A and B are shown apart, each in its own frame.
Chain A
Amino acid sequence: MNEARPLRRRTVLSVLTAASLGGLAGCLGGADDSAPDASENESTTFRVGTQWNPDSLDPLVKGWVFRKLSVIEPLVITDYDASVAPGLATDWSATDESRQWEFTLRDDVTFHDGTPLSAALAVESLRRSFASTSLAGLPVESVSAADDRTVRIRTERPFAPLPAHLTRAETSIVSSESYDDDGAVTELIGTGPFRFDSWEPGERITAVAFESYHGTVPSIDELVYERVADEQTRLLKLENGELDMARQLSTETTPGLEAHDHLTAYEYEVPRTRYLVFDTTSTPFGDREVRRAAMYALDRAGIVESVLNGGGPAAVGPYPPELTEWANEDLEPYAYDPEKARELLEAAGWKATESGRVRDGEPLEIELWTYDAWSLPIVAQVVQEQLSAVGFDVSLRQLAYSTIRERANRDSFDAVLWSNSLLWYPDPDRLADFVHSTEATMFSGYENERVDRLLEAARTTTHRAERKRRYDEVQAIAQRDVPIGWVTHVTNVVGTSADVEGYRPLPTETCYHLEDVTHQSRA
């Protein structure tokens, strides 16, 4: 059945296409001629569908869209192993106790309007970036040109994560010709392998191959980035030949994709983690042993198998060790041990009675909050079930993302199931967002002086092994105290038409690298 359907659709399609060949030949790209010789001279259009809204041209607002499409490039980029790699800068170094940074620029780069890249132009672009809301809070003191090829950045204090922050799309080098006098973006002029061509705000962006690119010129002539918010619709459009690549699909879609001969599924783990944030300042999770009990009650491998279609995997710590060296591989995992969970709860004073667990007349009732993304609601249901099995009385509430943040920051709560990318800039300083007593943006209320000191010290040195040792210890302490309980990592699925070749998914998803992809015309 599965094979018959696309065939019939294709037949109808090609009959229709043949009938309307003349007028539509240009717009339909490769779909109009089945003769293989003729297709070689045709221009290739590659259509990508994602859920995200391309509603701004400003790299400081939606720069990540243009970074993903390789229209703009920063000084340094994130590599396939989630390390910081050369981008527009070939190398960099820090002096003055990691306060003065120098980045050497490539000498063969031109902007899309033909202007060669110079340190002065890069400085101008970076100054605008660092003044923006997106990068607020980075301790950058000044940006200047040391010479024609060297950009110098001074930070207010020793700041080792600086290069990692410079992989962020907002720091991409953009020609000042992109802006008018009021700072509004009129035309986006970057340096990437694709050149911005046109857009329909909120709907699609069209980019074309940049012939004077300093690296390999893309084999795709035209790139169309289209917003298709609904996952099912993205899948249908891919199936129907209206897209060549559908991004951000869930693992449930893989079998469906694989059933089609004309489609390919790419499944890969990303450094995004689903986790429980416990309120460490209120009952019952103010008690570390209760938090630990909750972790022992969770069958994380079971969650992966039962509701995530094998796509996880179960998380031990914040980082998936296969993806980054920053993961502490010696972390003690919380094995699935409901009996131990019950013992810990008993020891903490929560005695089992006929009507559930009670301590001093108070029942062990908790509310578990979550929001609708990354399959969190369905994972939350299993978490609810598994915590209930050891005696928690769990009610589940699904709220809006920003509502949870607002309430959890303001009031006391019990537990929140949340998901985040832990390497959207590839540096473990991000752990401060989770467990630092004053800097954390997650809301567990966790305070640990040793953790604070380790995090602050790790920022001040560029010595990698020394930093790694400190972050390992932070991860180990957090594992013991569990202000945050790591549940699973996330597996992403990208579907493409089968004639797409050379696609290699970047785990951090900061760039699609479609400049490396070849795309045969559809016959």
Chain B
Amino acid sequence: MSRHLLRRVGGAVLVLFGVSALTYGFVFLTPGDPAVAALSQQLGHQPSAAAVEQFRATHGLNRPLPVRYADWLSEVARGDFGTSYQSGRPVRSMLVQRLPNTVELAVASTVVAVAVAVPAGVTSAVRAGGYVDDLTRVASLVGVSMPNFWLGYLLIIGGALQLGLFPVSGAGDISHLVLPAVTLGSGMAGVIARLVRTSILDTLGTEYVRTARSKGLHERVVVYKHAFRNALVPVVTVIGLQFGYVLNGAVVVEAVFQRPGLGTLLVDAVFARDYPVVQGVTLLVGVAFVSVNLLVDLTYRYLDPRIDIGGTRP
């Protein structure tokens, strides 16, 4: 188990290395001069040629790409993510400042999604073919298909402007979190509900469920105690994978609700060609994604002890 964990962590580090090398390469291949972009954002007007030259020299932009990448790597290894071209602030402190808002959003939208999707999926499975099932399926489809930015604006108009219940944008207390979490959670809920339904239906058809029923157990006990737990394995996998979707979606949702998180930080940084910040956010999101996947693997074993992630037993 622990050897497996070590191997997985080693693999994760390799993946992150690959991610960083790729993004570093891609960012620098994108057209657009970082000195000009960062300076124009910073100064609010067009930089003079002299200013651009001085900026390049200060930030080592005249050196070859591999040298810069190597320097960056060694700094990151020491826990230093460099300083932002735009603001001159340490990237690490920018990440630390923004991370909580994104984590909050990711967790809240996952909670919203699971809270809606699991009961909906189970009901849909138990009443398969009935009108509740149809309704849930249509709702899931709408949830999956509705673009986040569109739903976000609808919720702003409804929940903030018409009802005056929630603020239009920003971050702060829980009222700022509700609309973004619902927006982001809805798409995820659609996917999970469909999966819970299929998974429960599969499990309900298995031998042990028939055995449980033949023992005369109450249907609710059969569904929730016996079928549900086994049906959860694929669901947990998907929730784990959906976490990647949440991080992606956070970029759009944060932009719609002007929520100061990693998503908005990344978008700003990309537009300003603020490479150290782009690299910092990418790496952090990579770490989050890899960790969640690791966590999902570990959860399997708890849910279904027959799965041995160490791979030593058949």
Contact = CB atoms under 8 A, between A and B. Distances in A.
A binds B: yes
Interface string A227-260: 1111011001101101000000000000000000
Contact of B39 (A13, A16, A133): A133
B37 A202 contact: no
Contact of B160 (A134, A203, A240, A399): A240
A136 B50 contact: yes
A64 B44 contact: yes
Given A134-B43, A240-B168, A202 B265 contact: yes
Interface in A4-21: 5, 8-10, 12-13, 16
B44 A136 contact: no
Interface stretch (A51-59, A294-302, A497-505): A51-59
Contact of A203 (B163, B164, B260): B260
B188 interface: no
A109 to B, nearest CB: 26
A64 B42 CA distance: 9
With most chain A CB atoms within 10 A of its CB, the pick from B43, B264, B265, B268 is B43
A133 B51 contact: yes
Given A233-B168, A424-B45, A136 B37 contact: no
A137 interface: yes
A241 B260 CA distance: 20
B32 interface: yes
Contact of A137 (B49, B84, B265): B49
B51 A137 contact: yes
Contact of B260 (A9, A135, A202): A202
Given A136-B51, A441-B46, A55 B89 contact: yes
Given A201-B94, A406-B31, A133 B58 contact: yes
B270 to A, nearest CB: 9
B74 interface: no
Interface string A394-413: 00000111110111000000
A61 interface: yes
A405 B43 contact: no
B40 A401 contact: yes
B94 to A, nearest CB: 7
Contacts of A406: 31-33, 36
A34 interface: no
Contacts of B55: 133
Nearest to A372: B271
B33 A405 contact: yes
Interface residues on A, range: 35 or more
Nearest to A241: B164
Given A12-B163, A12-B164, A400-B271, A56 B89 contact: yes
Given A12-B164, A242-B167, A201 B51 contact: no
B48 A441 contact: yes
Contacts of A400: 31-32, 37, 271
A421 interface: yes
A226 interface: yes
A79 interface: no
Nearest to A424: B45
Contacts of B31: 399-400, 403, 406-407
Interface in B249-279: 255-258, 260, 264-265, 268, 271, 273
A441 B33 contact: no
A337 B51 CA distance: 42
B167 to A, nearest CB: 6
A149 interface: no
Nearest to A239: B161
Contacts of B50: 136-137
Nearest to A55: B87
B113 interface: no
A439 B46 CA distance: 13
A353 B208 CA distance: 81
B247 to A, nearest CB: 19
Contacts of B156: 233, 236
Contacts of B271: 400
B97 interface: yes
Contacts of A133: 39, 51, 54-55, 58
A62 interface: yes
A403 B97 CA distance: 30
B2 interface: no
Contacts of B186: none
Contact of A136 (B48, B255, B268): B48
Given A62-B87, A137-B51, A5 B167 contact: no
Contacts of A55: 84, 86-87, 89
A447 interface: no
A202 B94 contact: yes
A142 interface: no
Contacts of B40: 401-402
6 contacts: A12-B163, A16-B164, A56-B42, A201-B94, A202-B94, A402-B36
Interface of A: 5, 8-10, 12-13, 16, 52-53, 55-56, 58, 61-62, 64, 133-137, 200-203, 226-230, 232-233, 236-237, 239-240, 242, 399-403, 405-407, 420-421, 424, 433, 439, 441
Interface of B: 31-34, 36-37, 39-51, 53-55, 58, 84, 86-89, 94, 97-98, 153, 156, 160-165, 167-171, 255-258, 260, 264-265, 268, 271, 273
